[in-house]
Each structure stands twice: as structure tokens, then as C-alpha cells.
């Protein structure tokens, strides 16, 4: 028990989130040091199918040694309330070494609540974990991605919320289906949060998560008028314009074009980041990109830490020139 | 013996009727004026009785001399003939009244007799004719030529008001001539020839013969009387009121220097929310406006297609003053936020107004209210937040303000630590804008070559606050002033020199107690001009460029510095070709008044682009010289967007100086 | 309706950040502290709710450099009470801070607690959900719209991919604000001066801090330069040409 690594499997409307696979990859890393099992925990209602075949259709399985499935009507949709109550007992009874959650609008709420309720230490914004001799170490990314903080995981059961980027989701998937055990749920009463309905993002627009060429604009674009520069380049290159939070919050791009923690994760061939600083909430959605090219006047911007190529120039100056060259290349 | 035969052919009842109507007219006129003054008094107090001599002089020059009106020659001739024509006829009537009702009645003599009378008749006839010529010119321009600034007033009723003014004046003059002509036709005095117009008319009427002429004379006389009295009585109720309001407005206009921003009237709740928050003088401004539209013609915001027209602001505010219980709000219904934010505070409107209205003060006062209510676009909001937090609008740490100095050797003196002769106030743009830093470095090198003992405030310098005040953030403006002033207080220096006209303006006018009197404030062009004149600075090269020069608004129009930069250009051996709109008529680049911090939307042609197009029309001019860092930014951009990169290059004046020194 | 908004301060990322001699913490000498952006949104959302439905907004802040200015700004926006927690709070972790906020908030009897959903210097979780647990209230995070009626709050919660959920929670509750319905309003400097005259900041001393639940950092460092991008140098044309080559190399052109 004390050596096991638990992972709360995150899923939304029947789809297992990539972060779950990232966490499993991390869990495998840790389990090597503790000689424990990697246990995936899935909470839901009438979701046995999902628990036994979460990546259905892919021919792959979650890389856990065991899966625990907890069923209760109140767990049909995610609410922090219900999830916390369901997990509290499980953790107290088993006292695993580490419990991994996604640092998301699902996992973070549960982890924080449990830390306070059970008095367990909590590490957030965790980018990577590793085994250093007999010590388990964490590395978290804070301050807009500019600072890394490293330390040892406490000896007691520790809750960790993870961000993507440190581990590849592929390493959290395996060829063997884990053994699934259904666990009785505790009584879940006095729940104060309920889901009323989901609101779909506005349809009828491009799905940027399927586009191979993305031209992304951030705060550096300065004015709404300048978006036209990005549009021109996108047209010339055969790509699509998307943006980071500041641009979408202003209403310059619809929310369907938001790339980031609350937006879409993308996996293009080329991600051209224009005037984007590289804050973690944005960067975590880019980790599937093949090549990231960054343009930013600030050479110390964190985006240059994840880009393959970069240029410390003003996007407003270089983009028109680039568009011209692209047009010339196309017509040649 | 030539003498005025007053009341010839006029029966007793008509004579009495005239005096009764005259009295009635005066009463109605007085009531009208009283009503107007009452409206002005709803405004806040504002003392404007200082320097009475200067005020009287400006009335002489601008109300009687109408110097500004005459800047447009056609309009000058037109209006001066109308004004002096009417004034002459009015004075003539006064003299006739005194002649008959005072001197004749009380002392039994008439001074309008003999040679005096003949001269009197001649002058009046000629000036009366000129009046009609002027009115003809006015009607021709307004209704045939139809220049845009006289069209499309936001209040339709005003078109009738304009027509009334021209029509009524013409009617008074024409009926007057007819009366004279009819009288001369019957009486046929020997001296009739001294009334050339009347005499000519008389010839036509003679054909009709007596007693038709007499009957007609009486009818036309009565008509003329009624028209004239109606005219006078209607003055306070129509556009004609500018006869009273304009000289008053000119008398009470602000004698403060143009660059001093009038502080808010209530420091705790700055800005104008409703009409009564304006001062009485500002309300008089709206009343005095004659809708001539010159301000609109010179407004860069209007020219770029935005909704702001200074003329319309005045017209709408005046109409609103007289609205009865419509329930409309000043902000939103009468004046929109878009109009107010469009202003670049270039002051072309105030500069050109013939009746001295201050459209700009009204705009800034209304902006102050918008800011109080938080009605600002996000970009401006961020700029103000950055200014409050970091003292610059770039959102960069104040610690990075002097980063541009790093590669320079020898190190620039720190004015906070050692005494210097010249304190160089660098400004935000010159310090932080990556594309301008090269120019800032060149400036430092020029100062060094000139052997100046100069230093800067390094990180302790904050934005001088000029545009912060003009955007309406009074509190932040005063805070920045206080911060900079405290820093100045700790330093030992003789003169302040700056490369940024906006900072120059603020330093000259808002830092008075800390600087003025003890420390002159100079723009670098003034300083270098002085050094050239004294021989301390000598250019080793003659550049031979053919250039044009753009007068920055805050250096030229606001502070009258036109010649120093021009002498400097000449000293570098360059040939200056002026753009049509130059000196006090220079056309703003569009960045001022906080515009460079705002979203740009609804602009059809940027002012900077229009200016570049103006410059490329000059034969052989390759260099567009500016003297303000914001101008450099705006015009380099405009040259690219208009596609004239091969035709024109934008250089700051200091770059020419730098080149001429090397 | 009583709305409590606890706020915290974070290092301003505009400044260059350096690690101190111990190698395990940020060098505080040149650090500027500013209000956590998400807490600013929480204040804005609270003010909006008060403007719509009445009530009082109470802002609670730890005593750090610059806190007075931030509190007065909140008052100028419409906050009714300003509470400053005094004590050795400079190095408090989020668990300690949440406990301290919980003690203060209990006395204020809030119907609703609005707090920023996260802060960029969070290392041991976010204050909001911890605070909720210490107060015994339910927590909903990543909220971008709030309506209150009948002892319940209906909120919009953001999920990845642009998906949102409309959720309901019984009051009193803690909401973690991702974004207010519109960005924090600008409040003009003269109003802040007015607030300084008109409002008093109530100081409350906190007792001993309890940081349990937090962790120890052995080492802080800036991300490795080895992972850095290959920078393209040259003038604009040169850079554009190189980029076109890269595009061709990836078969995009």
C-alpha cells in the first residue's frame, strides 16, 4: 500500500483526458522507485465499460497495474463535492505513497479539498517527478513558467496535481489491460453541488485541434486591427489563426480558437507563436505540436524554452515580410 | 443747405408708432439677453477678470479687426464688409436719432447738415452697398459653392437660422435703400448725387410719379421699420446673437498659456457629468460658436473619418442647453464616448476659432467624467494601469528605464548623484521603444560632442504626465507631476532639456513651482540652436538634403517653437521645403491626447498617412524631418502603410544633427 | 448578501526574477508584489454582484508592501469593508494563508466567498479550495459567470476544449474565479484618494501560522537553457527567408 501510486483518471463525457496518460507515465516512473503498483482510480456511474476499456477503439490500454472503479449515482457527472467524499475513504484506507491528479478544473479541486480535509501535503503545478536514490523528487513550474521549484516528496501520503509537458501521454498507455476491481462507494449525502447542463462551444467554426498549420497570436499583436496580418499569413500558408487567452478574452477571436488550459489542446505540424509569452496555461496545450516557432520581442520569454526555432523581433514587422516571401515561394 | 429731413412724408401716428415699437424692441432685446445670461449662470464660477487691458486689446483685434476670420481671405472680406457695413448703418441711425431727438429737440440745432451731412450720406450709401456685396458673397458661398464645413450641421433647425441672418440683414439694407430711393425720387434735393445708390434707385422711381411714390414711400418706410425692429429684437433669439456673444467670449477668453491644462473644478469629482458642471465661460463658448466649421476643417480626427467634429460638439451642447425636459443625458445621448476619445488634443480647433471658443477644454472635461465612470477601452485602461504602477505606458519595470544607456561610453552622468548643468528629461518613448533607442543614443552622443555637462534621472524619471492629464486622469497626472518634481528637488541643475515635445509642454506649464523662473525648459532644438548661434557647436558637414519639416503639435502650436528647428535644419546645410499645412497649421500625426494608447477603430484614413501623402507631393523632397519620438513612430509606420518607402524616409532632427557633426 | 474576497499578492513577472543565495527561494530584494490577477477578477465579480443584487463586499488581504493601495482601490470600486491581516505573512504558504483567511472569514459570516482560482506562485495548491474546506463550504472553481438567487449560486464552470458547464451550488460557498464577467474596471486616481479619506482599513492580527500541508523546496532554478530554441538572427528579410526554408523543410510549403 505504502508504495502504491494512485492516479485519479480524468475523463469528460466518456473521453479519457490526455492528462490521465501523462499522470500514468509519471506514476510508472515513481513506482519503479517505490516498487509499488500503479493504480488507476475511476469514479462514475454505470461506467463499467469505460473502466474496463477506457481507450476503446485504440487497441491500447491505460498503463496501470490495477484499476479501481467506484460507482455511485452522484458520481455520474463530476462535482468536487462528490469526488472528494468518494476518494477520502479510499485514500485513508489505503494510504498510498502518492496520489496524482490533473492540475485541471477537475483534478485540482479534488486534490486541494482532500489535502485540507485529510491533512495531507499537496504539490501543485507539478511538471515532473523522478526517483533520486531512495527519495522521490518533484519539480513544479511556477511564476509564468520562469521558475522551477524542486524538492522531495514528503514521507506521508502526498497529493500531487500535474501539468502536461514533463511526460509524454504515449508512455501512459500500454498493451495490457489492467485488472479492474469495483469498489463500494461510501454514502454520498449532503452534496451541495450539482450539474445543470453542459454548454457546448459555439459550433460551425474550424476545429483547430485538427489543423496542421496554426498561426497563434498573443498579447504582442497589440491591436485588433493587427490580426489581419496573422490572417494574411494564415491564408498564404494554408493555416488557421488561433490565439491565447488575452486575445480571446478581448473578443478578437472566438472561444473556439482559444489554445490553452481552458481552450483546446492542439497537435499541429507547425505552431507559429506570434507575440505569445509562453505561460504554462497556454504552453500545456501545445505539447503535441511537432515544431513550435516563436516570435517575441522579449528574448527571455518562456516560449523560447519550448520552441524549436525563435526570433526576437516584433511580429508586427516580420509577419508582413514573411507573408510576402511565402506568397513568392508558392507562386514559384 | 443739405440737411436731413427726418420723418419726411411720415404722418404723426407713424412717427409715434416708431418710438413705441422702438421701446418695445429694446425691451424684447433686453429680455432676450437676460434669458441668455441666465443660462450661462447655471455653470460653475470661473474668474476671468484679470488683465483687463490685454482683454480689451484682444477685443479690438479679434472682434473689431476679426483677424482670425480674415485668415480665410474670402471670408474675411465677406464678413468685414457685412460687419462694418452694418456697424456703419447702425452708427448712422444712432447719429440720426441723436441729431433729431436730442440736439434738435433740446438745443434746436442739427449737426447733420451741410458738408457733414453730405459726407454722412456718402459713407452710409457706400458701406451699405458693401454690406449687400458681403451678403451676396455669403449667400453665394453658402448656397452655391456649399463648402462641407457649412453643411450637415447636427441640428437641422440651424440652417434656417443661417438663412434668417443673411436674409434679414439683406432685407433691412434693401428696404432702407428703397425708402431712400423713393424719397429722393420725390424730393429731388441737389445733394442727391452724394447718395449714389439711393440716387440710382430714385431714377427708376421717378418714372412712377407722385403721389404713387409717396404712398409707396410710406409703405416701404413702415416695412423697413418693422423689419429693422424685428431684426434687432430677434438678435438674442437667433444666430445674430453672436454680435453680443462673440466679443464677450473674446473678452473673457483664457489668457493662460496654451499648454497649461485647466485643472478640474472639483478635485474630488473631476469632470463634467451634466451641463451645470461646465463653467459659465464654457457655456458662453457654446453660445458664441457661429458654426463656421473651421475647427472641423482642421481637425485630424474628423479628417480621418471618426465621429468627432469640434463644431458639432459645440452645436450639440448649445442645442442641449436650450432643450426642455427631453430627458436626454449629456453623456451618451448628446455627446458620445467615441467622439470624446477620438480627440488628439492637437489644439488646431482652438487655434483657428474666430470667436475663441475652447472646444478642447470641453472635450477634456467630459473625458474626465468618462474616466470617473470607468468607461475606457481596455488598451487605454492597461496603459493607465501601467503608468500608475511603473511610471511608463510600456508596462515595463522602471528599473529598465535607463537600459538604453548601457552600451554608451563614457557613462551618462547620474543627475541624482552629481550636479549637472543640463538635466535631460528623456521621456517614455525615447527610453523604452526598441525602434527609437538608437535615436536616443545618438542624442546622447550629440550632447557629448557639443561638450554639454548633462545628466539624466535614470530610474527615477517617470512619465511627465502630459497626455495622462489630457486623457482625463487628473489624479494620476498630478501624482506623476509630484513624483517627478520631488526628484527634481533633490538634484542640482540649471536647465532642463528634453527631446519629447509632450514632456516639454508638461514641464513648462505644470511644474511651475518646482522649475519655472529658476530653471528654463528647453526642447533640444532650442538648445542646439542656441549653441550654433553662440558658436559652441559647429557642423563639419553640409548635408545638402531636400527636406520637409513637420511641426509637432506640442512644440509648435502649443508653445510657438517654429524657428529654432528650422534654423537648425538650415545649419545642417539642408534645404527646407514647407508642406502646405505648416507652422501653426501643421496637421497632427494622430498620436496625441492618449490616442496612441487607444484602440484604433473606425478610422478611414489615418492622419499620419494623410500627412505623408501631403509630403510626397513636394518635388524632390526625400526626407521627412520630425522632432518628436511619437512622430517618428507614427510616420515611419505611415510611410510603410502608404507604400512610399522608396520615396520618403523619416528622420528625427537629431539624426540630421548627428550626421552633420560626424 | 455578504461577499468576502480574500486576496493574495504575487511577484510581478515584469521584473527579472533571480534566485537568492540559498538557492531555494526567490531573491526578494527587487521583487515587486502585485495583486494576483485572478483575485482582481474576483473583486470585480463581487462588485458586479453587489451592484446587481445589493449587499456588501469585504476584501481581506495579508499585510505586504503595497497592500494599502490595493485595498483603497477596492474601496473605490465599491468594496464596503477592508481588512488587513497583520503578522509574519510574507513567507506563508497557501495552506497557512487559507487557514488564516478561514479564521477571518468566519467572523464576517459570508454568504459567498469569491477568490481567484489560482495564482502563479502557487506551490502547495490553490488558496480557494483549501479555504473552502477549512470553512466547511463547497467549492467550485474555474468560474466565469455567477448568478445568485434563493440561497443558491448558479455558475458557469470552464472545462478544457471550450466546453462549459452550468452548475449550481448551495450557499454559503467558495467560488474560484477564472474570469469576471468583464475585465476589472479602471478606477480613476481621484476616486482612490477619496477612498483614502472616506474608508478605514481594519487591521486584524493573526496568531501563529500553521503551514502543515505545504512542502519544502530544496532548489529553485530557471528552466535550462539547453532546451532553448535555435534563435534566427538577422534582419527582417533574412529571418523571413529562413522561416520559409523551415516551412519548406516540413513540407508545409
The three grid cell numbers given for residue B415, joined into one nine-digit string: 543627475
Residue C162 contacts A where some CB pair is shorter than 8 Å: yes
Q: What angle do CA A307, A309, A311 make, to 5 degrees?
A: 110
The three grid cell numbers given for residue C146, joined into one nine-digit string: 455567477
Q: How many domains does chain C have?
A: 1
Mean pLDDT along residues C44-58: 96
pLDDT at A53: 82
Q: Is residue C23 part of a domain?
A: yes
Estimate the crossing angle of helix B157-187 against helix B196-206, to 10 degrees.
70
Residue C65 contacts B where some CB pair is shorter than 8 Å: no
pLDDT at C171: 94
Among C16, C32, C189, the residue with its CB nearest the CB of B473 is C189
pLDDT at A203: 66
Q: Contact A283/A290 with Cβ under 8 angstroms?
A: no
| CA of B470 vs chain C CAs: smallest distance (Å) | 14
Q: Name the pTM for this structure.
A: 0.89
Q: Is residue C137 part of a domain?
A: yes
Residue B584, classed as helix, strand or coil, is helix
Chain A contacts in chain C segment 31-60 (CB below 8 A): none
| CA of A68 vs chain C CAs: smallest distance (Å) | 24
B375 contact residues in C (CB cutoff 8 A):
none
| CA of A206 vs chain B CAs: smallest distance (Å) | 26
ipTM: 0.89
pLDDT at A82: 92
Helix (H) or strand (E) holding A179: strand A179-183
pLDDT at B111: 84
C190 contact residues in B (CB cutoff 8 A):
264, 267-270, 372, 474-475
* Contact between chains at B474 and C190 (C-beta distance less than 8 A): yes
Residues of chain B with pLDDT under 70: 209-211, 325, 513-517
pLDDT in tens, B182-214: 888 888 888 888 888 888 888 888 877 666 778
DSSP string, B609-654: HHHHHHHHTSTT--EEEESSHHHHHHHHHHHHHTT-TTT-EEEEHH
Among C15, C16, C189, the residue with its CB nearest the CB of B475 is C189
Domains of chain A (ranges plus CATH)? 5-183 (3.40.50.620), 208-331 (3.40.50.1220)
**In the predicted structure, residue C224 carries a pLDDT above the cut 80:** no
Burial per residue of A239-257, b for 16 or more beta-carbon CB atoms within 10 angstroms, e otherwise: bbbbbbbbbbbbebbebbb
Q: Is residue C141 part of a domain?
A: yes
pLDDT at B191: 83
pLDDT in tens, A150-168: 999 998 999 999 998 888 8
pLDDT at B654: 96
pLDDT at B214: 81
pLDDT at A91: 93
Taking CA atoms, C45 is separated from A106, C114, C120, C153, in Å, by: 22, 8, 20, 13
pLDDT at B354: 96
Residues of chain A with pLDDT under 70: 1, 202-204
Residue C147, classed as helix, strand or coil, is strand
Q: Is residue C235 part of a domain?
A: no
* Gap between the Cα atoms of B293 and B355, Å rounded: 12
pLDDT at B211: 67
- Collect all residues with Cβ–Cβ distance below 8 Å to B248 and sequence separation of at least 6: B284, B288
Residue C167 contacts A where some CB pair is shorter than 8 Å: yes
Q: Is residue C210 part of a domain?
A: no
Among A225, A250, A297, the residue with its CB nearest the CB of B600 is A225
C156 contact residues in A (CB cutoff 8 A):
199
- Collect all residues with Cβ–Cβ distance below 8 Å to B272 and sequence separation of at least 6: B278, B330, B362, B365, B366, B368, B369
* Contact between chains at B601 and A250 (C-beta distance less than 8 A): no
| CA of B600 vs chain A CAs: smallest distance (Å) | 8
Q: Is residue C13 part of a domain?
A: yes
**If pLDDT is split at 50, 70 and 90, which confidence band does C225 have?**
low
A223 contact residues in B (CB cutoff 8 A):
379, 599-600
pLDDT at A18: 85
DSSP string, B398-417: GGGTTGGGTT-SSPPEETTT
In which residue are the cell numbers 489542446 written?
Answer: A265
A-B Cβ pairs (cutoff 8 Å, strict): 11
Largest Cα span, chain B = 102
Cis before residue B236, ω within 30 degrees of 0? no
Residue C194 contacts B where some CB pair is shorter than 8 Å: yes
Residue C30 contacts B where some CB pair is shorter than 8 Å: yes
3-state helix, strand, coil in chain B (%, to 5): 60, 5, 35
- Collect all residues with Cβ–Cβ distance below 8 Å to C161 and sequence separation of at least 6: A201, A209, A263, A264, A265
**Domain region containing C89:** 2-205
Q: Is residue C57 part of a domain?
A: yes
Question: CA-nearest residue of chain B to A297?
Answer: B434
CATH of the domain at C108: 3.40.50.620
In which residue are the cell numbers 475585465 written?
Answer: C183
Q: Is residue C91 part of a domain?
A: yes
pLDDT in tens, C77-126: 999 999 999 998 888 999 999 999 999 999 999 999 999 999 999 999 99
Residue C236 contacts B where some CB pair is shorter than 8 Å: no
pLDDT in tens, B431-457: 998 889 999 999 999 999 999 999 999
* Contact between chains at A223 and B600 (C-beta distance less than 8 A): yes
Amino acid at each position: 500500500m505504502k508504495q502504491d501510486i494512485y492516479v485519479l483518471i480524468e475523463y469528460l463525457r466518456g473521453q479519457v483526458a490526455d492528462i490521465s496518460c501523462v499522470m500514468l507515465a509519471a506514476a510508472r516512473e515513481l513506482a519503479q522507485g517505490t516498487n509499488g503498483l500503479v493504480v488507476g482510480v475511476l469514479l462514475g456511474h454505470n461506467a463499467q465499460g469505460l473502466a474496463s476499456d477506457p481507450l476503446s477503439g485504440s487497441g491500447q490500454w491505460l498503463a496501470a497495474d490495477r484499476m479501481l472503479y467506484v460507482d455511485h449515482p452522484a458520481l455520474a457527472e463530476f462535482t468536487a463535492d462528490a469526488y472528494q467524499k468518494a476518494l477520502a475513504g479510499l485514500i485513508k484506507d489505503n494510504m498510498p505513497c502518492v496520489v496524482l491528479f490533473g492540475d485541471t478544473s477537475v483534478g485540482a479541486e479534488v486534490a486541494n479539498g482532500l489535502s485540507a480535509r485529510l491533512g495531507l501535503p499537496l504539490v501543485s503545478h507539478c511538471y515532473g517527478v523522478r526517483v533520486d536514490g531512495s527519495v522521490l523528487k518533484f519539480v513544479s513550474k511556477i511564476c509564468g513558467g520562469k521558475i522551477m521549484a524542486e524538492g522531495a516528496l514528503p514521507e506521508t501520503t502526498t497529493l500531487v496535481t500535474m501539468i502536461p509537458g514533463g511526460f509524454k501521454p504515449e508512455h501512459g498507455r500500454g498493451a495490457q489491460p489492467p485488472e479492474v476491481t469495483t469498489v463500494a462507494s461510501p454514502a454520498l449525502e449532503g452534496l451541495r453541488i450539482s450539474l445543470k447542463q453542459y454548454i457546448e462551444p459555439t459550433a460551425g467554426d474550424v476545429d483547430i485541434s485538427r489543423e496542421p498549420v496554426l498561426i497563434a497570436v498573443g498579447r504582442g499583436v497589440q491591436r485588433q486591427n493587427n490580426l489581419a496580418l496573422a490572417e494574411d499569413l494564415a491564408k498564404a500558408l494554408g493555416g488557421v489563426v488561433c490565439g491565447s487567452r488575452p486575445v480571446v478574452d478581448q473578443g478578437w477571436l472566438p472561444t473556439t480558437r482559444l489554445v490553452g488550459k481552458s481552450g483546446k489542446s492542439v497537435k499541429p505540424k507547425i505552431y507559429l507563436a506570434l507575440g505569445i509569452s509562453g505561460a504554462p496555461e497556454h504552453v500545456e496545450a501545445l505539447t503535441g505540436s511537432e515544431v513550435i516557432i516563436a516570435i517575441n520581442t522579449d528574448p527571455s520569454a518562456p516560449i523560447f524554452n519550448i520552441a524549436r526555432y525563435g526570433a526576437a523581433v516584433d511580429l508586427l514587422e516580420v509577419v508582413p515580410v514573411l507573408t510576402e516571401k511565402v506568397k513568392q515561394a508558392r507562386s514559384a | 443747405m443739405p440737411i436731413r429731413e427726418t420723418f419726411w412724408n411720415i404722418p404723426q401716428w407713424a412717427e409715434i408708432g416708431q418710438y413705441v415699437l422702438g421701446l418695445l424692441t429694446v425691451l424684447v432685446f433686453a429680455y432676450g439677453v437676460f434669458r441668455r445670461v441666465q443660462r450661462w449662470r447655471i455653470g460653475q464660477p470661473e474668474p476671468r477678470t484679470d488683465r483687463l487691458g490685454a482683454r480689451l486689446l484682444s477685443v479690438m483685434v479679434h472682434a473689431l479687426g476679426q483677424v482670425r476670420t480674415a485668415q480665410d481671405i474670402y471670408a474675411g472680406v465677406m464678413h468685414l464688409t457685412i460687419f462694418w457695413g452694418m456697424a456703419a448703418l447702425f452708427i448712422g441711425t444712432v447719429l440720426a436719432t441723436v441729431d433729431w431727438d436730442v440736439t434738435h429737440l433740446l438745443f434746436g440745432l442739427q449737426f447733420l447738415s451741410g458738408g457733414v451731412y453730405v459726407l454722412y450720406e456718402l459713407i452710409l450709401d457706400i458701406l451699405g452697398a458693401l454690406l449687400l456685396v458681403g451678403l451676396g458673397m455669403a449667400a453665394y458661398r453658402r448656397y452655391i459653392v456649399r463648402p462641407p464645413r457649412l453643411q450637415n450641421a447636427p441640428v437641422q433647425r440651424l440652417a434656417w437660422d443661417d438663412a434668417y441672418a443673411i436674409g434679414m440683414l439683406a432685407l433691412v439694407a434693401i428696404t432702407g435703400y428703397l425708402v431712400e430711393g423713393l424719397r429722393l425720387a420725390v424730393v429731388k434735393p441737389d445733394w442727391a448725387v452724394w447718395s449714389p445708390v439711393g440716387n440710382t434707385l430714385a431714377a427708376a422711381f421717378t418714372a412712377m410719379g407722385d403721389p404713387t411714390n409717396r404712398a409707396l414711400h410710406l409703405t416701404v418706410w413702415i416695412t423697413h421699420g418693422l423689419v429693422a425692429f424685428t431684426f434687432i429684437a430677434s438678435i438674442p433669439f437667433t444666430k445674430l446673437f453672436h454680435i453680443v456673444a462673440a466679443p464677450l467670449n473674446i473678452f473673457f477668453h483664457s489668457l493662460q498659456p496654451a499648454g497649461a491644462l485647466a485643472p478640474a473644478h472639483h478635485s474630488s469629482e473631476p469632470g463634467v457629468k451634466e451641463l451645470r458642471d461646465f463653467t459659465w465661460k464654457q457655456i458662453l463658448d457654446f453660445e458664441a460658436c457661429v458654426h463656421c466649421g473651421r475647427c472641423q476643417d482642421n481637425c485630424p480626427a474628423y479628417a480621418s473619418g471618426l465621429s468627432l467634429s469640434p463644431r458639432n460638439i459645440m452645436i450639440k451642447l448649445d442645442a442641449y442647453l436650450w432643450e426642455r425636459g427631453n430627458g436626454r443625458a449629456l453623456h451618451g445621448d448628446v455627446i458620445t464616448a467615441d467622439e470624446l476619445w477620438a480627440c488628439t488634443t492637437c489644439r488646431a480647433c482652438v487655434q483657428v476659432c474666430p470667436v475663441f471658443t475652447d472646444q478642447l477644454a470641453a472635450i477634456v472635461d467630459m473625458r474626465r467624467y468618462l474616466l470617473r465612470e470607468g468607461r475606457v477601452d481596455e488598451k487605454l485602461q492597461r496603459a493607465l494601469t501601467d503608468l500608475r504602477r511603473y511610471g511608463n505606458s510600456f508596462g515595463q519595470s522602471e528599473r529598465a528605464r535607463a537600459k538604453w544607456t548601457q552600451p554608451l561610453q563614457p557613462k551618462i552622468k547620474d543627475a541624482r548623484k552629481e550636479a549637472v548643468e543640463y538635466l535631460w528629461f528623456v521621456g517614455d518613448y525615447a527610453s523604452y521603444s526598441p525602434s527609437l533607442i538608437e535615436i536616443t543614443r545618438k542624442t546622447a552622443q550629440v550632447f557629448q560632442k557639443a561638450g554639454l555637462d548633462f545628466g539624466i534621472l535614470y530610474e527615477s524619471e517617470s512619465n511627465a504626465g502630459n497626455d495622462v492629464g489630457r486623457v482625463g486622469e487628473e489624479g494620476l497626472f498630478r501624482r506623476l507631476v509630484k513624483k517627478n518634481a520631488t526628484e527634481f528637488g533633490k538634484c542640482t541643475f540649471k536647465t532642463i532639456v528634453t527631446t519629447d515635445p509632450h514632456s516639454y509642454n508638461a514641464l513648462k506649464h505644470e511644474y511651475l513651482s518646482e522649475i519655472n523662473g529658476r530653471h528654463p525648459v528647453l526642447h533640444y532644438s532650442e538648445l542646439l540652436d542656441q549653441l550654433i548661434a553662440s558658436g559652441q557647436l559647429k557642423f563639419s558637414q553640409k548635408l545638402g538634403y531636400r527636406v520637409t519639416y513637420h511641426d509637432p503639435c506640442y512644440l509648435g502650436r502649443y508653445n510657438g517653437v517654429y524657428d529654432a528647428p528650422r534654423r537648425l535644419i538650415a545649419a545642417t546645410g539642408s534645404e527646407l521645403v514647407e508642406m502646405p499645412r505648416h507652422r501653426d497649421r501643421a496637421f497632427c500625426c494622430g498620436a496625441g491626447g492618449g490616442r496612441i494608447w487607444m484602440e484604433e477603430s473606425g478610422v478611414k484614413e489615418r492622419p499620419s498617412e494623410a500627412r505623408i501623402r501631403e509630403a510626397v507631393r513636394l518635388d524632390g523632397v526625400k526626407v521627412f524631418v520630425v522632432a518628436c519620438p511619437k512622430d517618428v513612430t507614427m510616420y515611419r509606420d505611415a510611410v510603410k502603410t502608404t507604400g512610399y518607402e522608396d520615396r520618403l524616409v523619416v528622420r528625427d532632427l537629431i539624426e540630421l544633427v548627428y550626421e552633420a557633426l560626424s | 448578501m455578504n461577499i468576502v474576497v480574500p486576496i493574495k499578492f504575487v511577484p510581478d513577472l515584469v521584473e527579472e526574477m533571480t534566485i537568492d543565495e540559498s538557492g531555494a527561494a526567490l531573491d526578494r530584494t527587487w521583487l515587486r508584489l502585485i495583486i494576483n490577477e485572478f483575485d482582481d477578477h474576483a473583486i470585480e465579480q463581487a462588485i458586479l454582484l453587489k451592484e446587481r443584487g445589493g449587499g456588501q463586499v469585504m476584501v481581506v488581504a495579508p499585510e505586504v508592501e503595497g497592500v494599502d493601495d490595493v485595498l483603497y482601490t477596492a474601496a473605490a470600486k465599491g468594496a464596503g469593508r477592508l481588512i488587513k491581516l497583520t503578522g509574519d505573512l510574507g513567507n506563508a504558504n497557501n495552506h497557512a494563508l487559507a487557514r488564516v483567511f478561514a479564521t477571518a472569514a468566519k467572523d464576517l459570516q459570508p454568504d459567498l466567498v469569491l477568490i481567484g482560482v489560482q495564482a502563479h506562485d502557487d506551490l502547495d495548491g490553490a488558496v480557494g479550495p483549501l479555504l473552502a474546506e477549512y470553512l466547511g463550504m463547497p467549492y467550485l472553481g474555474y468560474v466565469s459567470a455567477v448568478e445568485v438567487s434563493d440561497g443558491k449560486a448558479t455558475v458557469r464552470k470552464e472545462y478544457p476544449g471550450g466546453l462549459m458547464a452550468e452548475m449550481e451550488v448551495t450557499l454559503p460557498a467558495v467560488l474560484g474565479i477564472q474570469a469576471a464577467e468583464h475585465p476589472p474596471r479602471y478606477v480613476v486616481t481621484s476616486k482612490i484618494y477619496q477612498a483614502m479619506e472616506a474608508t478605514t482599513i481594519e487591521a486584524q492580527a493573526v496568531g501563529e501560522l500553521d503551514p502543515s500541508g505545504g512542502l519544502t523546496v530544496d532548489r529553485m532554478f530557471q528552466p535550462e537553457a539547453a532546451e532553448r530554441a535555435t534563435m534566427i538572427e538577422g534582419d527582417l528579410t533574412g529571418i523571413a527567408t529562413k522561416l520559409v526554408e523551415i516551412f519548406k523543410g516540413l513540407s508545409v510549403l
